[in-house]
């Protein structure tokens, strides 16, 4: 196959055009896009341009379902670090972990540094406020490292319902009560004003998630900014408790309404016996008895 001779200036020109396309499409471009946008570019010349941009560190190469994908390479902040090569290596490893963070063990494995060397490097980077350590909610005795200016992912901190790795049960309960109170208020208003029977009352008592979020935000009971998914998780607890039911509007948005039981819940159902899977085997003698049931004892004490 004959080699296509291309002038250096032409390579520079097409390389600049390819970079321009990558800037316009930060999600990445593939060969099909290049063929459509640069129809006059010979495939072999295109390959030379791509190779040149990859070698010079201006593009990153990824695999996708549609083939190879080319993206602009995001420059690492490690190049601006004033320190030795070890600090730059460790910083790059932590930077690649993004807001999920990375364990100390993984940093040591990827960097190849000894424990005392790594400890010194991490301390230096923390002092310079380039990285920070964050306690992980699913491993109380461990912490992950990430860049100083990043907000940790919710999977690391536990999200809205956790504070310093502790689950805020009281906060969740307050939100649960306020959301249910809001649904009940909407139901009462609908029952008092809507005509046409139970169906009209039901439809009038439905509330969108964003309405509940707006109401809770107006109450000012949360010190953190709640999101729509936070409210929907609270609403899910109400559904599990049998206090609400979920529906959808014509656009598929979640809607909720309070559920009223015409008959009060029997006391037996509220006790552990009401949901015990082995209640049929419980008796005055044997291994399963009310006297030896720890759940019943805790419930009575409560």
Query: Per-domain residue ranges for the chain?
Result: 8-72, 78-157, 169-258, 267-301
Contact 99, 146 (CB under 8 A): yes
- Give Cα 244 to chain centroid, integer Å: 26
- 230, HSE (Cβ side, Cα atoms, 13 Å): 19
Q: Which residues of the chain have pLDDT under 50?
A: 1-4, 262-263
Among all chains, which residue has been given the structure tokens 């909407």?
Answer: 186
* Distance of alpha carbon 195 from alpha carbon 141, whole angstroms: 59
Choose which CATH entry (1.10.3720.10, 3.30.70.890, 3.40.50.720, 1.10.10.10) describes domain 8-72. Answer: 1.10.10.10
Instruction: Give the model's pLDDT for residue 46.
Output: 85
Extract the tokens encoding 119. Answer: 């400890």
180-211 residues labelled b (16+ CB within 10 A) or e (exposed) = bebbbebbeebeeebeeeeeebbebbbbebee
Choose which CATH entry (1.10.10.10, 3.20.20.20, 1.20.58.480, 2.40.160.40) describes domain 169-258. Answer: 1.10.10.10
* Distance of alpha carbon 144 from alpha carbon 301, whole angstroms: 40
Instruction: Give the model's pLDDT for residue 3.
Output: 47
Class of domain 78-157: mainly alpha
Instruction: Give the model's pLDDT for residue 17.
Output: 87
């Amino acid at each position: 196959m004959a080699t296509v001779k291309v002038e250096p200036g032409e390579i520079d020109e097409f390389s600049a055009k390819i970079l321009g396309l990558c800037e316009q499409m930060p999600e990445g471009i593939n060969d099909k896009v290049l063929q459509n946008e640069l129809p006059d570019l010979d495939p072999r010349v295109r390959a030379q341009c791509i190779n040149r941009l990859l070698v010079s560190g201006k593009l990153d190469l990824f695999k996708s379902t549609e083939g190879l994908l080319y993206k602009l390479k995001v420059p690492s902040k490690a190049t601006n670090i004033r320190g030795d090569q070890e600090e730059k290596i460790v910083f790059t490893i932590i930077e690649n972990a993004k807001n999920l963070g990375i364990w100390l063990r993984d940093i040591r494995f990827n960097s190849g540094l000894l424990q005392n060397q790594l400890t010194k490097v991490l301390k230096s980077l923390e002092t310079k406020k380039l990285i920070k350590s964050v306690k992980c909610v699913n491993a109380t005795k461990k912490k992950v490292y990430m860049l100083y200016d990043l907000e940790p992912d919710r999977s690391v901190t536990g999200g809205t319902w956790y504070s310093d790795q502790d689950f805020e049960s009281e906060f969740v309960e307050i939100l649960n009560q306020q959301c249910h109170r809001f649904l009940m208020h909407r139901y009462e208003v609908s029952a008092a004003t809507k005509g046409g029977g139970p169906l009209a009352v039901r439809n009038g008592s439905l509330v969108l998630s964003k309405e509940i979020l707006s109401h809770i935000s107006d109450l000012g009971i949360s010190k953190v900014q709640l999101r729509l998914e936070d409210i929907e998780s609270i609403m899910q607890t109400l559904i599990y408790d049998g206090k609400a039911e979920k529906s959808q509007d014509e656009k598929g948005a979640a809607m909720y309404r309070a559920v009223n039981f015409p008959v009060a819940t029997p006391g037996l159902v509220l006790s552990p016996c009401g949901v015990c899977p082995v209640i049929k085997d419980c008796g005055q003698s044997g291994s399963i008895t009310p006297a030896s049931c720890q759940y019943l004892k805790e419930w009575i004490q409560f």
